[in-house]
Amino acid sequence: MSSKIKDILMWDESLFRNPEVFDLSYIPEVFKFRDNEIEAISHNVKPLIKGDLPTNTIILGPTGTGKTTSVKLLFREINEVSNEVIPVYINCQFHYREFSIMSQIFRGIFGYPPVETGKPLTTLYEYTMGELQKKGKRLLVALDDVDFLFHVNIAESILYKILRAHEIFPGVKTGIIGIVTDNAFSFKVSEKIRTVFMPNEVHFKPYSQSTISEILRYRCDIGLYPGVMDNDVLDKISEITFDRGDLRLGIRAIKEAGMLAELGSRKKITTEDVEKAIERISSSLHVENVFDGLSKTDKKVLKVIAENSGKFTKANDFFNILADEMSYELFRKATTKLENLKIVDIQRAQSRGRGKQNLIHLRVPKEAILEIIKE
């Protein structure tokens, strides 16, 4: 074993006292700068706590502005103050089929997933809403990235099923919080849905640079040991994060820079660590965010596309590599999901006929994908 590798493996000094603080799924105990927005959502939800129908909510704002964290914090508070309201959070990037969404609601109500017995959606729906009626519970569903449901044309159906449950199951009360990054979302909703949904909008504006700096400093204070992150280095991260408009980049950059510093056996994070970290994660951040939500089939398809993206672009060429492992329908569903997740673009054939095929192109560098898959 080389001395350099031995030094890395044997060096037991960590710069992190709480590394999970820099995970994107981490929910901070102290969450500042969104009090007004959380209060607005809370006012909409409050009637459900009291036993009445809530005001449905649409949360709008750019990526990395605290929308999801705000809802998860609110749901944590609801669980502490009420045994009658069941909050269910669903990420529509990963659950964008009616059965999958209803399965998540079932899990939230029963505490375990439905048994995979091939039962139809109607049966699952009746079990789920019937249990609410039987127990006298109320349901609040957060649909994160709800615009995905519009892309796959199930939004109207799922919104109706949730919000009009009381028509089939008298006494059942339900509400929805939709989270989107597309400010034009409200204009996509048909009048038919508006009569049922009628949401109040809560807007999350981008963080200022000083706010970003304070948020990142708080993460450093609880996640790193004292003296690891100097102010000038943090200022550099804050500036880049503000320019890119995504707080998640700054949070991930701190963790990556800290790992680079540890790799170099340094006790401080340097500006060079930060620059290298941001260069490494900028192209892979989006893929990292969605990767854990991909199925084994999705990952297989993505790997084949990444490994062969420079060789060909026709969908059938990619599928032929996987033909012994899956049907074309599974392949098609996986590529559609990757398209919805903005990992690939699919250029669809304008007409049918011999030689007419869909073309698949990566939207992110293949190196970033293969690096994540390798890990």
Structure tokens at 316: 């059938």
Which CATH superfamily, name and number, covers 35-203? P-loop containing nucleotide triphosphate hydrolases (3.40.50.300)
Q: Is residue 67 marked as binding?
A: yes
Q: Is residue 241 marked as binding?
A: no
Annotate 160-223 with three-state secondary structure. Answer: HHHHCHHHHCCCCCEEEEEEECCCCHHHHCCHHHHHHHCCEEEECCCCCHHHHHHHHHHHHHHH
Backbone angles phi, psi at 280, to 5 degrees: -75, -40
Query: Which residues pair with residue 163 across a beta bridge?
Result: none
Query: What does the pLDDT look like over 55-80, one tens digit per residue?
Result: 999 999 998 899 999 999 999 999 99
CATH 3.40.50.300 positions along the chain are 35-203
| Cα–Cα separations (whole angstroms), residue 314 to 295, 317, 320, 322, 363 | 23, 5, 10, 14, 15
In the predicted model, what is the mean pLDDT of residues 70-93?
96
Q: Is residue 68 marked as binding?
A: yes
Backbone angles phi, psi at 160, to 5 degrees: -65, -45
Structure tokens at 198: 């009628």
Q: Is residue 123 marked as binding?
A: no
Q: Is residue 65 marked as binding?
A: yes
In the predicted model, what is the mean pLDDT of residues 360-365?
89
Q: Is residue 300 marked as binding?
A: no
Write the class of the CATH domain 295-370. Answer: mainly alpha
- Residue 187 burial by CB count (10 A; 0-12/13-18/19+): exposed, middle or buried? exposed
Q: Is residue 26 marked as binding?
A: no
**Confidence label for 115 from pLDDT (cuts 50, 70 and 90):** confident
Alpha helices in the chain (DSSP H): 3-10, 35-49, 67-81, 98-110, 121-135, 147-151, 155-163, 165-168, 191-197, 209-223, 231-244, 247-263, 271-282, 285-291, 296-308, 315-322, 328-340, 366-374
- Contact present, 307 and 370 (Cβ < 8 Å): yes
CATH 1.10.10.10 positions along the chain are 295-370
**Confidence label for 84 from pLDDT (cuts 50, 70 and 90):** very high
CATH 1.10.8.60 positions along the chain are 207-282
Alpha-carbon span 70 to 214, nearest angstrom: 17
Residue 372 contacts by C-beta under 8 Å, 6 or more apart in sequence? Answer: 284, 287, 288, 291
Assess whether pLDDT exceeds 90 at residue 193. Answer: no
**Confidence label for 1 from pLDDT (cuts 50, 70 and 90):** very low
Q: Which architecture does CATH list for 207-282?
A: Orthogonal Bundle (1.10)
Query: What does the pLDDT look like over 253-302, one tens digit per residue?
Result: 999 999 999 999 899 999 999 999 998 887 777 787 788 778 889 999 99
Q: Nearest CA to 181 among 141, 140, 148?
A: 148
Assess whether pLDDT exceeds 70 at residue 209. Answer: yes
Percent of the chain with pLDDT over 90: 69
